[in-house]
Structure 1
Amino acid sequence: MSTQSSTTTSSTTAASNKAASSNATIASDQPAQESLRVHPADNVRVALRDLPQGHRIDEGADTLTLVEAIRHKHKFALEDLAVGDTVTMYGVTVGRATRAIARGSVIRTDNLEHFTHSDTPVTRREHWQAPDVSAFEDHTFDGFHRPDGGVGTANLWLVVPLVFCENRNIEVLRQCVADALGDDPFRDYKQMARQMLHGDSPSHVTEPPSSPFPNVDGVRFLTHTLGCGGTDDDAQALCNLLAGYITHPNVAGATVLSLGCQKAQIAMLKQAVASKDPQGLRPVHYLEQQASTSEDALIEQALGTIFDGLREANQVTRQPAPLSALRIGVECGGSDGFSGLSANPVVGGVIDRLVALGGSGILSEFPELCGVEHELLSRCVDDATAERFSSLMQAYQRHADAVGASFSMNPSPGNIRDGLITDAMKSAGAAKKGGDSPVVEVLDYTETATRPGLALLCSPGNDVESTTALVGSGANLVIFTTGLGTPTGNPVAPTLKVASNSDLARRMADIIDFDSGAVIRGEASIDELADDLLALCIETASGRYTTRAVGLAQHDFIPWKRGVSL
C-alpha cells in the first residue's frame, strides 16, 4: 500500500501548508468580539466568550445589560419575548418561546422549543453570484482515472459481505491480508499491549516490509448487520448501497462474500451493480460459502481474488485530472454553537468554489435541513427538483410521526450543552455546509449523483449513516465539520475533519485536519479559510496529504436501515 506521510509534502501549496499546520500554530482562543448578531433580522446574539451577569453589550444605538451569565457558544435574547414569540437566528425562525424570556437572558431548552415556519412562501432565485475562483482555474489534482470516466482520489480493493453471517470471514481476511502485506494499522497498539503485559522492549519491533503494490492505497473490509431478517426493501437498499461502493471511482474492484440463503441475494447485488456499471467495467468476484467445499476453501479463494485484484489495481497510477472531477460530500457531527458560524460556512465556501469550477457537492442529513427548506427550495434549478425535495422531506417527516418520533429530537445532549437548543437552530447552521450555489439534483438514499453542481441527498442525521450514504452516492472526498470532536471516517473516501474552534483543534489534534477557529477570533475571513481548505482538498485528492481519519484507519460503515434515524 502507498505510504503517504501524515503531513503535506514539499510540493504542497503555501495555502494548504497553512491549513494543514494550523493545529500547531493555534493562537489565543479569545475572540476580538464578545458576541455576534449573525443576521440583521435576528433577535438573539451568540456569546463568543463567557460573559458575566451585568455585562453591557452595545447593540446598535442601544446598550443591553445581561441579566445572567452567558456561556460562550450560547445565545441570549435581544428583546423581551412572550410565550409563543418566535426566535430568529441566521435570518430564519429557529424556535418558539415556551415561557417569557427577558432581554439579556440566555436561550435554554426550558424556555424555547423547536418551531419553524413551514408555510414560508418560496420565490425561485434567478441568479447566483459565484465566488472568484481565478486562483484555482489552472489547478488539477492527481487522481486515478477509471474506464467509465470517473476519477478516484484513492485506489482501493474492496471486500464486502452480503450478509452479517459473513462478518467473521471478513475479519479473518482482514487479518490475513494485513499480516501478509505488513499493513496492520493497529500494529503500534498491539505492541503497546505486549509491552504492558510482558514488558517487551520496543527494540523488538521490526519495521513493516515495503508494499509490493505502491500504487494501491489499501484493501478495505466492510462489515454490517444487514442482509437477512429484514424486509425486501431493506435487502434491496443494502444491495444498492454496496453497489455504489463497488462501482465508486475510488474502488478498483471488489470481492463479495455471500452465505447463500440470505435475503440479499447475489443476483440482487449483480443487478444493482449492473445498473451503476452497465458495461461491466469494474471487476467483481462473488463467492458463496454454502456452495464452497469448506471454509478453508472459501478463504483461500477469496485471498486469491484479493491479491489478483491488487496486482491489477497496481497498474493504474495517479494522473492529472480537472477539479470538475471532484465530488465532495459534506457532513457534520458533534456540532457546537460555533459550527454554524465558522466551520460550516467555510465548508460552504469550498462547495461554492468547487461548483464554480465545474465540480460537485452533496449535502445530506434531511432532519438537519428542517426549517431551511424554503431557502433550499428557492435555490432549486427547476420545479421538478423542488418538488422532489419537498416530497422526500415530507415522506421522512410522516414516517417519523408514524412511530412517535420527530425531527425535534435530533439535537444530542452534546449539541444542547454547547448551544444548539433546537433542531431548527442546528439545521440553520448545518445547512451552511451546502454554500449558496443552485441545487441541481435531489437524490433519494443510495441514488448516484450524476450532475455537476450541488445535490441534496436524503439521509438521516446520524453521522456515520449519513457519511456512508454520501460516499455510496459518489462523493470521492468528504469534509466533516465538528465542534465537539468525533473520529468518524469512511473506508473508501478520504474524510477531512474541520474544527469549528481552536480549542478542539488543539485538544484533539490527532483527529483534526483543519482549524476554522480563526473566524471566531476575527483573525481570518470565511473566504480566506475557504481558499485554504480547498487547497487542502486538492492535496488530499492527490494523495499528498493523508487525513487523520485515514491515518487512524477510521473506516466507519453503517448502512441506514430505512427506519427513523434522526
Structure 2
Amino acid sequence: MTSPIASDAGRLTSLRVHADDNVRVALKDLPAGSEIDDGATRVRLVEPIRHKHKFSLVDLAEGDSVVMYGVTVGRATRPIAAGAAITTDNTTHSTASSTPQARRGEWQAPDVGAFTGLTFDGYRRTDGSVGTANVWLVVPLVFCENRNIEVLRQCVADALGEDPYRDYKRMARELLHGDAAAAPSPQAAAERLFPNVDGVRFLTHTLGCGGTDDDALALCQLLAGYICHPNVAGATVLSLGCQKAQIEMIQQAVASRDPQGLRPVHYLEQQASQSEEALIRDALTTIFDGLAEANRTPRTPAPLSALSLGAECGGSDGFSGLSANPLVGAVMDRLVALGGSGMLSEFPELCGVEHELVARCTDDRVAERFRALMSAYQRHASRVGADFSMNPSPGNIRDGLITDAMKSAGAAKKGGDSPIVDVLDYTEPRTRAGLSLLCSPGNDVESTTALAGSGANLILFTTGLGTPTGNPVTPVLKISSNSELAARMSDVIDFDAGPIIRGEAQIDELANDLLRLCIDTASGRYQPQAVRLAQYDFIPWKRGVSL
C-alpha cells in the first residue's frame, strides 16, 4: 500500500482520495477564491475551507450522494455548489452498496522480505501462546470489591517501591507546602524484585450485580479472556459472594479457554472470609507468590506469527483516514503476510463499507456472520432510540468527520486489505491466524477492552485529536494522524504519521518503521507512553447501549 498523497504532495493543498470521489480534502486552510486543480478541471472555492475538511468538486442537488474513498459517505440535504464546504448543515449520513473495490481471493500480499525470519522476545506460555508482557492480574467479580482492589493496588505499589504516581505526589506536596526541601522525600525506586515481570494490574468495573443474567455472563467471559491472555501469568479474583457473577460462572468461562487448567487462578470470597484484614492478607499472599512464579519465565525469541495486533481509533480527525489509519492497515497486512494475526473492531465505524468487508471474507460463512452481527447490533441500538449515524463526536465533526459513513470509510482502513478469515462476537477469543473482525462498540475504551479480551497482545491506536487510552494487560501504541498533535502531546503519542500528510514519506516506508516499533514493544525494548503513564483503562460493554 502506498500513500494516497502522491510524490508531488509537497505542492498539494488538497487531495482527492479516490478517482470516484466528488469531494476533496483540504490539507491546509484554504481561503475563498482559491483555484484548485482536480485533474482536467479547476474548482474555485466559494468559501474558506478549513484544513481536514472537505469541499464539493461539482454542483450537488438535494438528495445527491456525497462520495469519498470511492463509497457513499453522505447525502446532500440542500444544494451544494462546487467549491463549497461539506458540513452538517448541508449533508447527512447516508450509505449505499456499490461494486466492491476488493475481490475474494485476489489479495496481493506486501513484500515482507525485510522481516522474514525476524523474531521478538516474548513470554512463552504452557498453552503455546506467547505474551508481549508478563503481568499478574487482580480482578473483582463485582463492583462491591472495587475498594478492596484499590487497597491492594496501593499496598502492592508501596511494597514493591513502584508507585507510578510518585512524581505527581511530590508535585502535590510542593504545591501545598511551598517548600520542596521540607516535603517527605519519595521512596527511592528499589531494585526490581521480579525483573522478568512487568507488574501487577488491577481492574475495576461497575458490573457483576444488578444487571441481567446475560450481563453477568458477558462479564465473566470478558474477565476469563483477560485471565487467560498470553500477557497474563496468573490472576487473583475477588468475589463478594452474593452477586450475580458467581465464582462458578467465571471458573467455567476460564475452563473453556484453559481446559487443562494451566493458568494459576486464585478465587477469594469476602463473605466467606473471617475479616477484611484476612481477605487482604490472603490476596496479597497470592499476588506475591504469583509474582515469584511469574518471574521464573524469561523473555525468549518467538516468531512474528505469534503476534496478534488489535486496531483501534479514538479522537479521530479529518486526516485519520488519510495517514494513521491506512498506515496501521499496512502494518496489519505485513503481519498477516508473516503469518500473524490482526483484529479490526468498532462495528458502528464499519457502517457504509460493509460491502467492501464482505467482499474480503474468505467464504460465505464468514460473510454471513458479519452481516448477522452488524444487523443485530443495529437492532439493539434502535431499541434504545439510537443509530450508527449518532457515532461521530463533536470533536470528530469539528475536525472534518461530518457523517458516520465518512468516519467509517476512513476507520476501516486500519484493517488493511488482507482477507477476513473470521468474525468474532464480543468476548469470543481469536483462534485463526489472519485478519478477524470483532464486534465491539465505537467507544474507545470499551472497544480496546474488547480487543485485549479476545487475545490481542499488542494494540495500535490511531488518533487525530489525542487520547491517553491504554490497557491493563496489552501494550497500546498511539499513532497520531498529524505532526502538530505528535509535538503537542508527545508524552502520549508513540509514532507520528504526519509526514504522510506533508508528502515527506510514503505509507510503505513508515509501515516498515512502525512494524519495527511493534517488534521492539513486543520485546520489551520500547515502553509505550500509555504504559509509562500507567494508563490502564478497562470498561466492559453493556451491549445494545454504546455506539
Q: TM-score, normalised by structure 1?
A: 0.94
Q: Equivalent of 1:102, from 72, 81, 93?
A: 81
Q: What residue in structure 2 maps to residue 421 of structure 1?
A: 402
Using the alignment, how far apart are the partners of 1:122 and 1:201 within structure 2? 63
Aligned to 1:27: none
Structure 1 equivalent of residue 449 of structure 2: 468
Partner of 2:230: 249
Give me the whole-angstrom Cα distance separating, in 1, the residues matched to 2:422 and 2:179: 57
Say what the alpha-carbon RMSD is for the aligned residues: 1.2
- Contact 1:245/1:471, CA 8 A, preserved across alignment: yes
Partner of 1:178: 157
CA-CA distance at 1:126 after TM superposition: 2.4
The 5-angstrom pairing of residues 483-522 of structure 1 reads: 483-522=464-503
Q: Which residue of 1 aligns with 2:139?
A: 160
**CA-to-partner distance for each residue in 1:407-437, whole Å, 9 max, x for gaps?**
0000000000000000000000000000000
Q: Structure 2 stretches of 5 or more lacking a match? A: 1-8
1:324 and 2:288 matched? no
Q: Among the aligned pairs, what percent are the same residue? A: 77
* CA displacement, residues 492-534 of structure 1 (integer Å, 9 cap, x when unaligned): 0000000000000000000000000000000000111111000
Question: Quick one: distance in 1 between partners of 2:447 and 2:41?
Answer: 44
SS across alignment from 1:76: strand
What is the SS of the residue equivalent to 2:11? coil
Per-residue CA deviation, residues 376-428 of structure 1 (Å, 9 max, x unaligned), is 00000011000000000001111111221100000000000000000000000
What are the within-5 Å matches in structure 2 for residues 15-414 of structure 1?
Answer: 32-118=11-97, 124-201=103-180, 204-414=185-395
Structure-1 residue corresponding to 2:510: 529
Deviations 1:177-214 (A, max 9, x none): 00000011111101100111123426934421111100
Contact 1:43 1:77 (C-alpha < 8 Å) held by counterparts = yes
CA distance in 1, matches of 2:485, 2:129: 36
Report the AA paired with residue 96 of structure 1: R
Give 3-state SS (helix, strand or coil) of 1:268's partner. helix
1:360/1:452 contact within 8 Å kept: yes
- Whole-Å separation in 2 of the counterparts to 1:160 and 1:31: 51
- SS of the residue 2:374 aligns to: helix
Match of 1:481 in 2: 462
Contact 2:71/2:98 (<8 A) preserved: no
Alignment partner, residue 439 of structure 2: 458
Separation (CA, whole Å) in 2 of partners of 1:365 and 1:115: 18
Aligned to 1:8: none
SS at match of 1:136: coil
Helix, strand or coil at the partner of 2:543: coil
Taking the aligned partners of 1:444 and 1:216, their CA distance within structure 2 comes to: 31
Which of 527, 534, 539 is the equivalent residue of 1:553? 534
Q: Is the CA contact (8 Å cut-off) linking 1:31 and 1:49 kept in structure 2?
A: no
Q: Relative to 1, partners in 2 of residues 1:269 and 1:123: Cα closer, same or farther, differing over 3 Å? A: same
Distance 1:456 1:126 in 2: 18
The letter for the 2-side match of 1:468 is: T
**What is the count of residue pairs matched by the alignment?**
537
Deviations 1:119-155 (A, max 9, x none): 7689852221000000000210000000000000000
1:246–1:253: 8 Å Cα contact kept in structure 2? yes
Cα displacement (A) at 1:361: 0.2
Bigger mean CA deviation after superposition, 30-39 or 87-96:
30-39
Q: Which secondary structure state, in structure 2, belongs to the residue aligned with residue 440 of structure 1?
A: strand
* Secondary structure of residue in 1 paired with 2:317: coil
Aligned partners of 2:166 and 2:186 also within 8 Å:
no
Gaps of 5+ in 1: 1-29
Tell me if structure 2 keeps the 8 A contact 1:330–1:361. Answer: yes
Distance 2:327 2:54 in 1: 21
Tell me, in whole angstroms, the C-alpha distance in 2 between the residues paired with 1:120 and 1:450.
31
Residue of structure 1 in register with 2:4 after alignment: none
Q: Output the amino acid matched with 1:144.
A: Y
1:539 aligns to what? 520
What does residue 7 of structure 1 align with?
A: none
The TM-score, its normalising length taken from structure 2, stands at 0.97
Q: Is the 8 A contact 2:100 2:356 kept in 1?
A: no
Work out the CA distance in 2 between the residues paired with 1:191 and 1:211: 22
In structure 2, what is the Cα distance between the partners aligned to 1:434 and 1:121? 16
* 1:261 maps to amino acid: C
Structure 1 Cα separation of the partners of residues 55 and 313 of structure 2: 24
Measured in 2, the distance between the counterparts of 1:157 and 1:504 equals 34
**Contact preservation (8 Å) 2:136, 2:233:** yes
Following the alignment from structure 2 to structure 1, what is the Cα–Cα distance between the partners of residues 144 and 544? 22
In the alignment, the residues of structure 2 paired with residue 228 and residue 221 of structure 1 have an alpha-carbon distance, to the nearest angstrom, of: 19
Change (3 A) 1:69 1:273: same
- DSSP-derived class of the 2:114 partner: helix
Deviation per CA, 1:251-279: give whole Å up to 9, x if none.
Answer: 00000000000000000000000000000
Q: Is the 8 A contact 1:122 1:374 kept in 2?
A: no
1:59: Cα distance to partner? 1.4
Q: Which amino acid aligns with 2:138?
A: V
Deviation of 1:563 after TM superposition, in Å, equals 2.6
- Distance in 2, matches of 1:533 and 1:412, equals 28
Cα distance between partner residues in 2 of 1:377 and 1:368? 15
